[in-house]
Amino acid sequence: MSLLKSREAILVAAILLLLAGVASRFPGFITPRNLVAVFTDTAPLVILALGQMVVILTRSIDLSVAANLALTGMVCALINVSFPGVPVAVLIALALGLGALMGAINGFFVWKLSIPPIVVTLGTMTIFRGVIFLLTNGSWVNSHQMSMAFKSFPREAILGLPVLGWVAVIVTLGLGLVMSRTTLGRAFFAVGGNPHASVYTGINVGRTQFLAFVISGMLAGLTGYLWVARYAVAYVDIAGGFELDVVAACVIGGVSIAGGVATVAGAVLGALFLGIIKNALPVIDVSPFWQLAISGAAIIIAVTFNSRAGRSKGRVILKSAEHAQ
């Protein structure tokens, strides 16, 4: 436990150091107003990383989150264009439901047919994106076609923070409660930590993984509406490749890809770390072309660090068998 705590402490320190470094050249970056903007910008990554965290915790992976986001967002935009009268609350409920349904499809294949999650979500990732094309024939939904209420909801500021940011805060707190206070949260840890042992304690491993996918899908759907409304545009390739950013945020946040180890705070901090890097680069005059290489390097450094910290301190009898398992 002290290890886990120190990992998050280190992430907080890294984030503060990053902010201090940027601020030393551009003090404007750490004004409260800009920090709120950076947080709002990172909110989608935070929400998706939390969903992904639950999935990775149960020894699975969800590569379809970005495609789920794009499809749900497009459906919301299309409904808004055809029926501008539909209230935003209904659209959000619909986004949650549709996202959860797509998560359930992933979960079903993993639970009932025991197909490895990486294979299932690789397939559904391309299928979901293809469905967007079938729905729209490749055309875009533009800002002027969307209703004012639809576009303004995520940007509405409450106490200085836009709704998009608040959603990230609420999801963080909500999932924090689920993970620490419910039997479901406990089951996620148990299934990831030792699936065989959890079978003996009466936990249905497949069903738990199914629920993890439903949560991840639901959050992806929610983000879909928020994303499309915020940027006021919807098209097939929206958030393309974002699933890897999401996995990267989890990994930076100390979520073990082998399952069983994760914290809500870690996932949020990992997402914030990536988000701050992305927002800081243009400010410190680094060309956007450096962004990919820098986030790639950050992932590798973080995972190297995690594995150093997480290595068990047992006696190694055969040195070469240490990594082999």
Partner 1 sequence: MSHIESRTANTPRLIPDRLTSPATRILKSWESLLLLVAIGIFVLNSFASPYFLNAWNLSDATFNFTEKAMIAFAMTLLIISGEIDLSVASIIALSSTAMGLVMQAGFGTPAIVAAGLLTGLLCGAFNGILVTRLGLPSIVVTIGTMSLFRGISYIILGDGAFRGYPADFAWFGQGYAFWVITVEMVFFVLLAVVYGVLLHKTNFGRTVYAIGNNATAATFSGVRVERVKLILFLLTGLMSGLASVCLTSRLGSTRPSIASGMELEIVTMVVLGGVNILGGSGSLPGVVIAAFVMGLVTFGLGLLNVPGIVMSIVVGALLIGVIALPRIYRNLRRK
CB 209 within 8 A of CB 189: no
Q: Which is nearer to partner 1, 124 or 172 (CB)?
A: 124
Applying CB under 8 A, among 59, 88, 91, 265 the residue interacting with partner 1 is 59
How many residues lie near partner 1 (CB under 8 A)? 62
Q: Which is nearer to partner 1, 205 or 226 (CB)?
A: 205
Q: Which is nearer to partner 1, 34 or 194 (CB)?
A: 194
Tell whether residue 22 is a contact of partner 1 (CB under 8 A): no
Q: Up-side HSE of residue 256: CA atoms within 13 Å toward CB? A: 17
Residue 248 Cβ, how far from partner 1 at the closest point, in Å?
6
Tell whether residue 247 is a contact of partner 1 (CB under 8 A): yes
Tell whether residue 316 is a contact of partner 1 (CB under 8 A): no
Name 95's Cβ contacts closer than 8 Å, sequence gap at least 6: 72, 73, 75, 76, 221, 222, 224, 225
CB 209 within 8 A of CB 187: no
Tell whether residue 3 is a contact of partner 1 (CB under 8 A): no
Q: What is the full DSSP assignment across 36-51? A: HHHHHHHHHHHHHHHH
Q: What is the full DSSP assignment across 100-154? A: HHHHHHHHHHHHHS---HHHHHHHHHHHHHHHHHHHHTT--B-GGGS-HHHHHGG
Tell whether residue 300 is a contact of partner 1 (CB under 8 A): yes
Residue 216 Cβ, how far from partner 1 at the closest point, in Å?
15
- Which residues ranging from 196 to 215 are in contact with partner 1 (CB under 8 A)? 196, 199, 205-206
Token readout for 90 is 């209904």
261 vs 275: CA distance, rounded Å: 23
Tell whether residue 318 is a contact of partner 1 (CB under 8 A): yes
Residue 125 Cβ, how far from partner 1 at the closest point, in Å?
7
- Which residues ranging from 104 to 163 are in contact with partner 1 (CB under 8 A)? 109-110, 112-120, 122-127, 129-131, 133-134, 138
Contact region for partner 1 (CB under 8 A) — 44-52, 89-97, 214-222, 287-295? 287-295
Token readout for 108 is 């079903």
The residue type at 133? F
Applying CB under 8 A, among 38, 47, 49, 61 the residue interacting with partner 1 is 61
Q: What is the full DSSP assignment across 57-113? A: HTT---TTHHHHHHHHHHHHHHHHHH-TTS-HHHHHHHHHHHHHHHHHHHHHHHHHS
**Residue ranges binding partner 1 (CB under 8 A):** 59-61, 109-110, 112-120, 122-127, 129-131, 133-134, 138, 195-196, 199, 205-206, 236, 244, 247-248, 251, 257-259, 287, 289-297, 299-300, 303-304, 307, 311, 318, 320-325
